[in-house]
């Protein structure tokens, strides 16, 4: 497990350029989060004969042997120093989701996904993310390209014409909860479904988050927003800022997953 965790830490967390103490703390946080996520989501690919894939569908993973020696040593130390540690709620490993940049405010799980809305995945302001320098983004996408991307998914298919994309519901963080697509068909879907469909067709950085506004610009739509990723759970940009300010890994985890505990997973077996 620790070898897997180390490889996931380097694939998922941006540690380059950080001071050694900060990098060590961030790596320990990511190690605990990655281990927890792996345990909570094991057998996700059981029908294919394995537990987790090595992509963003589960967790990105590259073996430690594929990384420079200094980076591999840092990640291995983080995995070993936290060995066995997992985040729990009601004595069970949590779904320890994380993202790159919340843009200053995380969101509850229900903003992005149907199903459970656990109390440890609630929306929280994150001034540390802003302090680290969260960057606004903009993306201008032609109506033709947008229509093609949306039509790739049954959930967002609007047919041969796209007229407008309208955000009809936002959460407290400003993320699009519900979006109505106006075209040959009118479709109301979750904001995360729209982002996923567009990014599947135009690249994963096309629409960086659902914390956006959108308006018509000639034969294109202009998206402007903040953050990167779904915005649920741990914010990696905020984690770096908190570690730089001297917060311990356990304090950082307690902030992003309120009401949880860090436990040795052997005690749960």
Per-residue pLDDT averaged across 204-231, rounded? 96
Angle value at C-alpha 136, between 131 and 138, nearest 5 degrees: 170
Residue whose entry in the numeric block shows the structure tokens 């420079």:
68
9, 27 in Cβ contact below 8 A?
yes
Q: Which residue has the higher pLDDT, 121 or 133?
A: 121
Closest-CA residue to 89 (of 39, 29, 27, 30): 39
Give me 26's structure tokens: 């961030």
pLDDT in tens, 155-169: 999 999 999 999 999
Q: Which residue has the higher pLDDT, 21 or 52?
A: 21
The DSSP 8-state label assigned to residue 174 in this structure reads: -
Beta-strand relationship, 98-99 and 234-235: parallel
Q: Which residue has the higher pLDDT, 134 or 159?
A: 159
In this prediction, residue 45 carries a pLDDT of 65
How does the average pLDDT of the chain come out, rounded?
93
């Amino acid at each position: 497990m620790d070898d897997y965790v180390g490889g996931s830490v380097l694939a998922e967390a941006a540690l380059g350029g950080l001071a050694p103490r900060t990098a060590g703390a961030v790596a320990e946080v990511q190690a605990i989060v990655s281990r927890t996520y792996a345990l909570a989501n094991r057998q996700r690919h059981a029908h294919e004969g394995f537990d987790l894939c090595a992509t963003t569908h589960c967790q990105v993973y590259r073996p430690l042997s594929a990384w420079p020696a200094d980076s591999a040593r840092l990640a291995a130390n983080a995995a070993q120093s936290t060995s066995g540690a997992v985040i729990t709620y009601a004595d069970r490993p949590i779904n320890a989701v994380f993202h790159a940049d919340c843009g200053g405010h995380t969101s509850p799980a229900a903003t992005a996904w149907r199903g459970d809305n656990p109390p440890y995945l609630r929306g929280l302001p994150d001034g540390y993310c802003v302090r680290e320098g969260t960057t606004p983004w903009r993306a201008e996408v032609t109506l033709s390209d947008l229509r093609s991307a949306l039509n790739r998914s049954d959930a967002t298919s609007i047919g041969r014409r796209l007229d407008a994309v309208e955000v009809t519901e936002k959460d407290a963080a400003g993320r699009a909860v519900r979006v109505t697509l106006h075209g040959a068909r009118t479709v109301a879907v979750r904001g995360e479904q729209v982002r996923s469909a567009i990014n599947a067709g135009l690249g994963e950085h096309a629409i960086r988050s659902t914390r956006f506004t959108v308006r018509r610009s000639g034969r294109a739509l202009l998206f402007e927003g903040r953050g990167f990723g779904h915005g649920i759970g741990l914010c990696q940009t905020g984690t770096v800022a908190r570690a730089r300010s001297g917060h311990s890994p356990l304090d950082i985890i307690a902030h992003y997953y309120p009401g949880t505990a860090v436990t040795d997973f052997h005690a749960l077996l």
